[in-house]
Amino acid sequence: MISAEKLLEKQRTYFRSGATRSVSYRVHQLETLQKVLVEHEEELMNAVYEDFKKPELESYATELGILHDEISYAIKKLRKWVKPKRVPGTLINFPSSNYTVAEPYGAVLVIAPWNYPIQLALLPMVGAIAAGNTVVVKPSELSPNTSSVLKKIFEAWFKEEFVAVVEGGVEANQDLLSQDFDYIFFTGSTRVGKIVMEAASKHLAPVTLELGGKSPCIVDGTAKIKTAAKRIAWGKFLNAGQTCVAPDYLLVHSSVKVELLEALKNSIRDFYGVNPKLSPDYARIINKDHFHRLCSYLKEGDIFSGGRYDEEEYYIEPTILNNPKNEAGVMEDEIFGPVLPILEFESIADAIYRVNSGSKPLALYLFTENKTTERLVLKECSFGGGAVNDVVAHLGNRNLPFGGVGNSGMGNYHGKASFDTFSHTKSIMRKPTWLDVPFRYAPYKGKLKWIRKILK
Ligand code: NAD
């Protein structure tokens, strides 16, 4: 197996050869990537199923479908994105023409988590290729079937000096992180995000950190409860709750709490039947450690519905946890599983206070029909992105840059934002030589008053 050092050297040499720079090369590679996803669709979906029994429709919609959409869009828009952008000149530099141009960073490293193991490894890659970089991708060791299929497929279809998949765990990652990559794009936990940023600082490598956190979902007294319940249950129990932007906990106005709890219970039954264990549409927990961590939360409140589990299958029933204990794990850690704690509030100011007393979340959701409440919550709470009267869906719009803030991350991607993330914006001023205004040159005597007039 090639070492991380040698791999980076190969990629850097390839990048410096200029091979990745032409638009036609980038488009061709994106088309190849799309072909790979079509030809290996079944193999990829089976691998994700093997990893945690992810249902077929969810695998298509949230892994392959979203990738197809992103690739088609990048192919369609790339010629426009790479064009230099003219910007206005300023009087002090008259005459000049000014523009910015997107330049690839070089060799970039993408580190992915296990929960959307195809999408989160390849979606950043689309932006990196579109921007003209070479890419090393490190998928997660916790989704080993998907990781090994990705490795096999990419070895067969791409030159490793252009795109390479490196398998392995923490050690492989640390090895990669000790190299001098030109850009590091990390998706994963806040804890590991800090390790990545520290490693990147040694080489001053720029980073995007797509992290997690506790994303609140507020339901006020005016919300359309049945629709809210359906959408919340869908977004929470999709991927068995193992979604970075899943509603982590609910803040419900006391006047609608009973109605919402009942509606949530009904939605869960409608989606997965009376015994979700038998449903083909409900995934499993990724491994034993996460299974036990999640089971421990079941004791940290009153189970309103759900609560059954089976260690053999790493199955945990969609669970609604009423009156969770404060300072319990379930209200301290990111849940990242099918347990939904419910908290109650009396005034929207209390709900806002509760949200703002934690770290800035990756997502925030609000169900309301009241415009004043909507404006207030969106103004007062800082979070990565979110939705009003829906959950999770904002992530599926490539025109909305996706990323966190504070503890939930920095930087963003999707659509054009991906191209921008993986490009350095180079600024150029072009001066003609037919005129050389003498203000800037010494001797300065008598010139200050003119400079003052222009720079004000
Ligand atoms: P993780 O941070 O444990 O692992 C992510 C990657 O980092 C893996 O490839 C892993 O091999 C590597 N890694 C783990 N420990 C490391 C260490 N000590 N040093 C160097 N590398 C290390 O995250 P995870 O458990 O795979 O994923 C779950 C987390 O990811 C959740 O917090 C979730 O919210 C977050 N997430 C965020 C997004 C997003 O887009 N913002 C998407 C999915 C998941």
Contact (Cβ atoms closer than 8 angstroms) between residue 62 and residue 400 = no
What's the pLDDT band for 369 if we cut at 50, 70, 90? Answer: very high
Of 244, 300, 317, 334, the catalytic one is: 244
d(Cα 423, Cα 101) in Å, to the nearest integer?
Answer: 9
Give tens-digit pLDDT for 90-120: 999 999 999 999 999 999 999 999 999 999 9
Residue 379 alpha carbon to ligand 1 centre in Å: 30
59 lines ligand 1 (CB under 6 A): no
* pTM metric for this prediction: 0.97
By alpha-carbon position, which residue is closest to atom 26 of ligand 1? Answer: 113
Index of the ligand 1 atom closest to the CA of residue 362: 41
Please report the pLDDT score of residue 323 as a whole number: 94
384 lines ligand 1 (CB under 6 A): no
Index of the ligand 1 atom closest to the CA of residue 114: 26
Index of the ligand 1 atom closest to the CA of residue 139: 9
Residue of 118, 189, 286, 291 with the most ligand 1 atoms within 8 Å of its CB, for mutation? 189
212 lines ligand 1 (CB under 6 A): yes
Give tens-digit pLDDT for 156-181: 999 999 999 999 999 999 999 999 99
Residue 212 alpha carbon to ligand 1 centre in Å: 9
Please report the pLDDT score of residue 327 as a whole number: 86
Q: What are the residues facing 252 on neighbouring strands?
A: 219, 344
What's the pLDDT band for 438 if we cut at 50, 70, 90? Answer: confident
Task: Please state, as a whole number, how many other Cβ atoms lie within 10 Å of the Cβ of residue 258.
Answer: 10
Give tens-digit pLDDT for 222-258: 999 999 999 999 999 999 999 999 999 999 999 999 9
Of 210, 300, 317, 334, the catalytic one is: 210
By alpha-carbon position, which residue is closest to atom 31 of ligand 1? Answer: 189
Please report the pLDDT score of residue 326 as a whole number: 83
What's the pLDDT band for 1 if we cut at 50, 70, 90? Answer: confident
d(Cα 254, Cα 270) in Å, to the nearest integer?
Answer: 25
Please report the pLDDT score of residue 180 as a whole number: 98
Task: Please state, as a whole number, how many other Cβ atoms lie within 10 Å of the Cβ of residue 456.
Answer: 5
Residue 189 alpha carbon to ligand 1 centre in Å: 4
Residue 193 alpha carbon to ligand 1 centre in Å: 8
174 lines ligand 1 (CB under 6 A): yes
Task: Read off the pLDDT of each residue in 87-91 and give the average, rounded to a whole number.
Answer: 96
Please report the pLDDT score of residue 72 as a whole number: 98
What's the pLDDT band for 439 if we cut at 50, 70, 90? Answer: confident
194 lines ligand 1 (CB under 6 A): no
Average pLDDT of the chain, as a whole number: 97
Residue 163 alpha carbon to ligand 1 centre in Å: 21
Residue of 62, 137, 173 with the most ligand 1 atoms within 8 Å of its CB, for mutation? 173
200 lines ligand 1 (CB under 6 A): no
User: Which residues are CB-neighbours of 159 under 8 A, at least 6 positions away?
Assistant: 14
Whether 244 is catalytic:
yes
Whether 217 is catalytic:
no
By alpha-carbon position, which residue is closest to atom 35 of ligand 1? Answer: 188
By alpha-carbon position, which residue is closest to atom 9 of ligand 1? Answer: 140
d(Cα 30, Cα 276) in Å, to the nearest integer?
Answer: 39
pLDDT at 359 over 90: yes
By alpha-carbon position, which residue is closest to atom 16 of ligand 1? Answer: 170
